[in-house]
Amino acid sequence: MKRILHLGIALLLCVTAATAQPILTAANSNPVPGDVYYGHFIDTNVTAGMPGANITWDFSTATEIGLDTTTVFTCDSTPYCSSFPGSNIAELNGTDYMYMNAGASKLSTTGIRTSGINIWFSNTWDIMSYPLSYHSIFVDTSAAAVASLGAYHSEIDSYIYDGYGKVILPSGTDTGVARIHVITYSHDSSLAMGVQDSRVETYNWYVPGSHYTLVTVTYDTAGSATGTPYVSGATYYVMPRNTTGITNVNARITGATAYPNPAASELHIAFNLPNVAGASITITNLVGSVVETIDASQMKEGANDITVPVSNLPTGLYLVRIQNGVSEVSQKVVINH
């Protein structure tokens, strides 16, 4: 911070900085088509920490145990949009789609496509209600079903904006962060599993302008509505465009190319990798469906040249994305048999 010599002005600025709080709105929090987020799974040896104003939550020593990617698309560019009326965006994670309505006052989930099954919310699941400021609370009830399987789900979610301050992650430090504490009571019934009631508490940290959760720490109660909570999962998220400030340029992917282009039977993906931790390659078609995934076990440190059979893929335009959690390189390729 710039040094201020006048004591009165300095004190005024300090008070202002100490009491300022981030406010979450649709404009600074709703996911935006084109965004890509790397989810860094970390060990569960963490805690959510304390609520309050001007808190520092330090996750800098967390150990990464896995990585995945979430990409945001417009609904009509995805293959199942027509099955989920009222949706205007979709998030793709692996091969699963979450269909949502990103509105000016709410961010709502309308349905999920997973394992070849559509799950519809007869009462939409509201993830956000805007605006959200410190000490704001909103409560949502939702219901979903897969009637063909005799499976039904309902839940009550209480969202509590219980703190703001600074978050320290292995990827860097963020200030002006809001924490939302979510308490979920759910009721599930199915022909296969019977009836089960449970409670889950999730702490989500948000930075206005990031459009996605910065950190998530989840407490479960082992399928009980009254059990003792324990940390069952934790993840922090990084957007590729937010990693430009990382000084370790040697961690970036270089020399990436896909050939031949067009390809008929085989596609070669060549690149230099500083290390294999968290690296992956995905190939998606024009509607965002993942048609091929290559994980770090098939890569090595240094120069890589990976062969991918493509004779079974329809002729068309595809996107090859190589990523390692610090950088991402993508290239469009044509498959033409």
Residue 250's CB is within 10 A of a number of other CB atoms, namely: 9
* pLDDT tens, residue by residue, 261-293: 999 999 999 988 877 777 889 998 877 788 999
| CATH classification (class only), 249-335 | mainly beta
Are 200 and 177 in contact, with CB atoms under 8 Å apart?
Answer: no
Per-residue model confidence (pLDDT) at position 162? 98
Are 290 and 94 in contact, with CB atoms under 8 Å apart?
Answer: yes
H-assigned helices in the chain: 7-19, 26-29
Per-residue model confidence (pLDDT) at position 239? 72
Per-residue model confidence (pLDDT) at position 326? 61
**pTM check: above 0.75:** no
Q: Extract the residue ranges of the chain whose pLDDT is less than 50.
A: 1-19, 241-250
Per-residue model confidence (pLDDT) at position 167? 95
Per-residue model confidence (pLDDT) at position 323? 81
Distances (CA, A) of 256 to 69, 191, 224, 264, 272: 19, 50, 49, 20, 7
Per-residue model confidence (pLDDT) at position 240? 54
Per-residue model confidence (pLDDT) at position 215? 96
Distances (CA, A) of 233 to 44, 47, 229: 6, 10, 12
* pLDDT tens, residue by residue, 33-45: 878 788 888 989 9
Per CATH, the number for 21-242 is: 2.40.360
Per-residue model confidence (pLDDT) at position 208? 92
**Ranges of each domain in the chain:** 21-242, 249-335
Per-residue model confidence (pLDDT) at position 325? 63
Are 128 and 24 in contact, with CB atoms under 8 Å apart?
Answer: yes
